[in-house]
Structure 1
Amino acid sequence: MPTAALPRLSRPSARAALVTAMAALTAVTATACSTASSSGSKDGGTPAASGSGPGRKIEVVAAENFWGSIAAQLGGDHAHVTSVITNPDTDPHDYEPKAADARTMAAARYVIVNGIGYDAWADKLIAANPGSGRTELKVGDLVGVKPGGNPHRWYSPDDVHKVIERITADYQQADPADAAYFAQRKKDFESKDLAGYTTLISQIKSKYAGTPIGASESIVTPLSEGLGLKMLTPESFLDAMSEGADPTAKDKAAIDDQIKHQQIKVYVYNSQNSTPDVRAQVKEAKDAGIPVATVTETLTPAGATFQQWQTAQLKGIAEALAKATGR
């Protein structure tokens, strides 16, 4: 996995790009066909599919490729999925939307956004054209996490399955004639494609539940909860690092002490956001003989599926836990 830090884009630059993109979205409103929207949207109807009869496809846009990968696999031949963020070096928090993104959103019949403040730029693009009738699935609303909560829901196994359920249901509402097809896609995806992912989660939880770990940022927290691991890193540090803020001296001292006295068994860090503070902690952990595992914010490599990406990371965490505990 790449270890280069994610570029933290300037807020003024992002706002300027958003204005440009929203202007483009407004310009294409007149040509974007109106459709009904699903129970997952604000409008309460059903998402529409393009065309009719055999070969029809639901036009789907996902703000991020981790949700896009799942949507594409669940949709199969009956959905055309475009992900806005696909580059592993792009920071979803401060993404600068382009005019092309605005046009893509305007043409979509089903949009998947993470929410919880993670991709506010997508919300603004959607809001710029409220009359298009598209369906919006906001993951944060679906799983009940309010603004200010941890936005990294794709690292929560339980939340991932909730999203799978909702996308399938929305596809079936959009294209009732192919409801059985979508039901089979869901069954195969969960029982076959996600088999390795599900098995690793179960094995780690069964074998290492309660093991104390440290982390570089809050992206690791939903996963640690799903795996039954005990997060010792102060939440205030995790949040500060995820938001691009400077951690407090108190928090850094607490983590240094945890590493020095080997209170944590494994240290997990986001290799796409490797700041000087994080690099120092990684070095301290390795020097102290604490195994280090990595995760990334978005699909790495970019062409990987959700399950390939997550399974590779889970294997790394399992290997680190095995080395740390001798089990």
Structure 2
Amino acid sequence: MRNLKTVLAAALLAGLVVLAGAGCGQSTRSPVAPNGVLQVVAAENFWGNIASQLGGSRVHVTSVITSPATDPHDYEPTAADARTIAGAPMVIANGIGYDPWAQKLIAANPVPGRIVLNVGDLVGIKPGGNPHRWYSPTSVQQVIDAIVQDYGKLEPKNGNYFAQQKTRFETKGLAQYKRLIATIRRKYHGVPVGASESIFAPLAQTLGLKLVTPPSFLKAISEGAEPTAADKTTVDRQIADGKIKVWVFNSQNSTPDVKRITDAARQRGIPVTTITETLVPVSATFQQWQSHQLQALAGALAQAKVR
């Protein structure tokens, strides 16, 4: 479905690029807005929220994708999105094929001195790899480091302020998130689990959980493709035979196959927990969102009585 939507949206995206160019042209906006606050655009709100916390009062961040009802893979940008990105002196995009619309709008509307933080380029993951880097604590730390470095380049006079924001975020903001990761890894390392798509894979690896769902199934669901019959059979058998202790599914990408498998897991008595692509609720911070999901996962693992 995603591939079809991408094709159908191509003409719309091209039109938005033209509109942004007509409305904004070659913007020469200073990296700092008239009110002295650095203006930053993030393609997705998980990166945008981190950027906002690191920037504090010296940065204003606009996130393009914010609604939990939106699947970022399928997103079709609006004219307002095009204008927002066209005038931004700093843009954060996930890359890795996750938000190609953002890459096109950035390229079509260059700004002198603009900094583009492409997460895929930063962490060394190319298109075709797993794009869900915000579920990798290692990648999250790399992004934190890069954002603060980029803020310092655009606003050198506030370098010390940004460094203090970074320290506060890492030591206080992310404290519970880090504790939960360490606890789950210690208590449940090696426990076999299943997942509906590849979004969970980076976190599962960090937690030391054994993700036994076929990688090709995970990738197919993530990319909107049809899983093979063999992969479906494997997943069905893993659930029927109790080979997985917990089932994790992305509620923002719930296909008929995923719904069927999730129902089967519940009927089999396998604890089910959910994760999402973007912040839920929208008002949550990155760490609140992730910590809530980690707590739910820990509860599911405890319910499964795997230790």
Instruction: Note the C-alpha offset of 1:240.
Output: 0.5
The corresponding residue for 1:142 is 122
User: Structure 1 stretch 97-106 or stretch 229-238: which is displaced more?
Assistant: 97-106
Give the root-mean-square deviation of aligned CA atoms: 1.7
Residue 120 (str. 1) matches residue 100 (str. 2)? yes
The corresponding residue for 2:64 is 84
Contact 1:259 1:285 (8 Å CA) reproduced: yes
SS at structure 1 position matched to 2:25: helix
Q: Which runs of 5+ in 1 are unaligned?
A: 1-5, 36-47
> How do 1:1-327 and structure 2 match up within 5 A?
10-30=5-25, 32-33=27-28, 48-51=31-34, 56-130=36-110, 132-325=112-305, 327=307
Aligned residues: 307
Instruction: Note the C-alpha offset of 1:130.
Output: 3.0
User: Structure 1 stretch 61-70 or stretch 22-31: which is displaced more?
Assistant: 22-31
1:121-168 Cα deviation digits (max 9, x unpaired): 000001112354311000001011111100000000110011001101
Q: Which runs of 5+ in 2 are unaligned?
A: none
Contact 2:26 2:111 (8 Å CA) reproduced: no
CA distance in 2, matches of 1:229, 1:22: 43
CA distance in 1, matches of 2:43, 2:189: 33
SS at structure 2 position matched to 1:130: coil
Deviating runs (4+, > 6 A) in structure 1? 6-9
CA distance in 2, matches of 1:275, 1:12: 20
Contact 1:270 1:297 (8 Å CA) reproduced: yes
Instruction: Note the C-alpha offset of 1:324.
Output: 1.1
**Sequence identity percentage:** 57
Amino acid at match of 1:213: V
User: Structure 1 stretch 282-291 or stretch 77-86: which is displaced more?
Assistant: 282-291
SS at structure 2 position matched to 1:256: helix
SS at structure 2 position matched to 1:10: helix
Instruction: Note the C-alpha offset of 1:7.
Output: 9.0
Provide TM-score, normalisation by structure 2. Answer: 0.96
Amino acid at match of 2:77: P
1:190-221 Cα deviation digits (max 9, x unpaired): 11111111110010011111111000000010
CA distance in 2, matches of 1:224, 1:139: 20
1:37-95 Cα deviation digits (max 9, x unpaired): xxxxxxxxxxx3234xxx62111000000000000000001001000001111121121
1:249-308 Cα deviation digits (max 9, x unpaired): 100100111111111111100011111111111111112221111001111111211111
Provide TM-score, normalisation by structure 1. Answer: 0.90
CA distance in 2, matches of 1:182, 1:282: 43
SS at structure 1 position matched to 2:233: helix
CA distance in 2, matches of 1:132, 1:22: 18
